[in-house]
C-alpha cells in the first residue's frame, strides 16, 4: 500500500523542481556568490509528512545565518553539502498541500498552509516544492494572502512575543530601535493598537516609511543623538524594543529609560547576530551576559528582558491580533524564483539595507 495520499494527476508530469541552493559549504558572507539555481527531484514524503507546493517564501537574515553555520552563534549549518546532496536554502513559506502521508490526520490535499520555523536550522523553502512533518505547518489564515502570511511568520511572531513580554499599557512612551525593519515595523503597529506613544529610531531614507507605520515621533540617528534629543525634551521612556542588538546601543538606550522601565531585546549583546561565527567562549559569554543582566536588572532596574519566543508558541495568538488590528509587514521587494534577482536581494539584505521583507513569489 502507498505511504501517501497524493494528487496524482497534478504530480504525474512534475518529477523535478526548481530550487536555489548550495553545492558546497559556503564561506561566511559569500552566499550571494555561491548560491546556484538547481533542478532537483521533488522530495519524497514519509507517513507523517506532507508535500507542499510553495507559493511564496521570504529571504531572511536567519536563512543566511543557518546556511553559513553562524545562526545563534555557531550551532546550525549544513553538515554535508555536495552536487549529489545540495543544500536548498530558505525557511519560511506559504503554499498548498499536494500530498499527505498515510498517518497525517490534521491536514488534507488542497489545504493552504504556512511553515513554522523550528530551532534545528531547518531549510528547503527556496524551491517550488517542499516536504516536512505535519507538526511544522499550520493552516494559513483566510484573511491573509500568501504574501501577507509568509511575511508575517517571523516578524509577527517575534514582535508579538515582545509585545506580550512588555506588558505595555495605554499611554506608555515606547522607543523602537530598528523601527524600519520587519520586526520594528510590526511592533510599532502593535504598540499603537495598544494606545502607546511610539518613538521610532531610523535613518533618513526610512523616515517616511516609519511615519506610515503610525509613530508619534521619529528620530533620525544619522543626524541626531537620540539620548540628547529625548533628554532635552524631558521625555522618559517606559519601554525600549530592540531588534538590532549590541551592547553599545543597549547602554545608550538604557539612559533614556525610566528607572522602572523595561528594555526588551531579541538579539542581546551581539549586534546583527548570525553575521559572523562566534567561538564557543563568545557564545557562552553571550548567554551568561543575558542571564546576568536579567537577574541584576530585577534589583537595580531598568528591567532587561530577553524576549525571543519560538514561533510555534505565539503564531495562533499573533494571527488573531494582526488580523483584528489590520497590521501589515512592509515589503521591500517581491522577486521571482530567479537566480539573478535572488543574488541581488541577498546582497541588499546582507548590507542591512532592506526596509521590510523580501518575498519570493513562485507564481511570477
Of the chain, the end-to-end C-alpha distance in Å amounts to 37
Chain-centroid distance, C-alpha 268: 16
Least confident range of 62-76, 97-111, 161-175, 221-235 = 62-76
The pLDDT assigned to 58 comes to 96
d(CA 223, CA 2): 65
- Above 50 in pLDDT, residue 256? yes
pLDDT band for position 351 (50/70/90)? confident
pLDDT at residue 6 greater than cutoff 60 = no
Give the model confidence (pLDDT) of 26-51 as tens digits: 888 899 999 999 999 999 999 999 99
Beta strands (DSSP E) in 116-194 are: 129-133, 137-139, 173-177
For the stretch 95-136, pLDDT in tens is 999 999 999 999 999 999 999 876 566 789 999 999 999 999
Report how far residue 62's alpha carbon sits from residue 298's, in angstroms, rounded to the nearest whole number: 31
- What's the pLDDT score for residue 95? 98
Q: Which of 214, 210, 262 is nearest to 236 (CA)?
A: 262
| Exposure string over 146-182, b if 16+ CB within 10 A, otherwise e | bbbbbbbbbbbbbbbbbbbbbebeeebbbbbbbbbbb
Between 34 and 287, the higher pLDDT residue: 34
Region of 320 please: left (phi>0), alpha (psi -120 to 50) or beta: alpha
pLDDT at 326 over 60: yes
pLDDT at 331 over 70: yes
- How many angstroms separate the CA atoms of 79 and 207, rounded? 42
Nearest to 110 by CA among 99, 97, 100: 97
- By DSSP bridging, strand 331-335 and strand 129-133 are unpaired
Higher pLDDT among residues 70 and 211, named by residue: 211
Residue 102 vs residues 1, 41, 114, 138, 226: alpha-carbon distances, Å: 10, 21, 20, 18, 58
Mean pLDDT across 210-236: 85
Question: What confidence tens digit (pLDDT) does each residue in 11-24 have?
Answer: 444 589 999 999 99
pTM: 0.89
Please say whether the beta carbons of 51 and 355 come within 8 A. Answer: no
| pLDDT value of residue 318 | 96
**pLDDT at residue number 121:** 62
The CA distance from 174 to 172, in Å, is 6
pLDDT digits 0-9 by tens, 148-185: 999 999 999 999 999 999 999 999 999 999 999 889 99
Strand ranges (E), the chain: 4-6, 16-22, 36-41, 49-59, 87-88, 93-101, 112-115, 129-133, 137-139, 173-177, 197-202, 217-220, 237-242, 257-265, 303-306, 331-335, 357-361
Residue 147, pLDDT above cutoff 70: yes
Grid coordinates belonging to 359: 518575498
Which pLDDT belongs to residue 285? Answer: 87
**Average pLDDT, rounded, for the chain:** 89
Q: Would you call 323 helix, strand, or coil by DSSP? A: helix
Tell me what pLDDT residue 2 has.
41
Q: Higher pLDDT residue, 60 or 122?
A: 60
pLDDT at 268: 87
CA-only gyration radius of the chain, Å: 21
Asked if 76 and 69 count as a contact pair (C-beta separation under 8 A), the reply is yes
The counts of H helices and E strands in the chain are: 11, 17
- At a CB cut-off of 8 Å and minimum separation 6, what does 122 contact? 91, 132, 136
Amino acid at each position: 500500500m502507498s505511504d501517501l495520499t497524493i494528487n496524482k494527476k497534478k504530480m504525474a508530469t512534475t518529477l523535478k523542481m526548481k530550487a536555489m541552493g548550495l553545492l558546497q559549504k559556503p564561506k561566511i558572507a559569500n552566499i550571494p556568490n555561491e548560491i546556484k539555481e538547481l533542478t532537483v527531484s521533488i522530495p519524497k514524503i514519509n507517513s507523517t509528512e506532507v508535500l507542499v507546493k510553495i507559493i511564496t517564501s521570504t529571504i531572511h537574515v536567519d536563512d543566511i545565518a543557518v546556511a553559513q553555520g553562524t545562526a545563534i552563534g555557531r550551532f546550525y549549518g549544513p553538515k554535508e553539502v555536495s552536487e549529489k546532496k545540495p543544500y536548498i536554502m530558505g525557511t519560511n513559506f506559504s503554499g498548498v498541500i499536494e500530498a499527505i502521508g498515510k498517518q497525517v490526520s490534521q491536514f488534507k490535499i488542497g489545504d493552504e498552509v504556512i511553515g513554522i520555523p523550528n530551532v534545528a536550522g531547518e531549510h528547503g523553502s527556496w524551491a517550488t516544492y517542499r516536504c516536512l512533518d505535519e507538526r511544522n505547518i499550520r493552516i494559513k489564515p483566510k484573511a491573509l494572502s500568501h504574501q501577507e502570511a509568509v511575511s508575517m511568520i517571523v516578524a509577527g511572531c517575534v514582535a508579538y512575543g515582545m509585545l506580550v513580554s512588555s506588558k505595555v499599557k495605554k499611554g506608555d512612551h515606547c522607543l523602537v530601535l530598528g523601527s524600519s525593519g520587519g520586526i520594528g515595523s510590526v511592533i510599532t503597529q502593535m504598540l499603537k493598537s495598544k494606545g502607546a506613544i511610539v518613538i521610532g529610531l531610523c535613518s533618513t531614507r526610512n523616515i517616511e516609511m516609519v511615519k506610515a507605520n503610525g509613530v508619534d515621533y521619529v528620530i533620525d540617528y544619522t543626524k541626531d543623538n537620540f539620548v540628547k534629543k529625548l533628554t532635552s525634551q524631558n521625555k522618559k521612556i517606559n519601554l525600549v524594543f530592540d531588534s538590532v542588538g549590541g551592547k553599545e546601543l543597549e547602554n545608550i538606550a538604557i539612559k533614556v529609560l525610566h528607572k522602572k522601565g523595561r528594555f526588551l531585546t531579541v538579539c542581546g549583546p551581539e549586534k546583527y547576530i548570525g553575521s559572523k561565527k562566534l567561538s564557543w567562549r563568545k557564545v557562552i559569554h553571550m548567554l551568561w551576559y543575558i542571564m546576568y543582566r536579567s537577574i541584576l536588572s530585577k534589583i537595580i532596574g531598568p528591567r532587561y528582558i530577553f524576549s525571543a519566543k519560538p514561533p510555534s508558541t505565539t503564531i495562533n495568538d499573533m494571527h488573531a491580533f494582526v488580523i483584528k488590528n489590520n497590521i501589515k509587514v512592509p515589503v521591500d521587494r517581491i522577486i521571482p524564483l530567479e537566480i539573478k534577482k535572488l543574488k541581488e536581494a541577498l546582497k541588499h539584505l546582507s548590507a542591512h539595507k532592506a526596509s521590510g521583507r523580501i518575498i519570493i513569489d513562485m507564481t511570477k
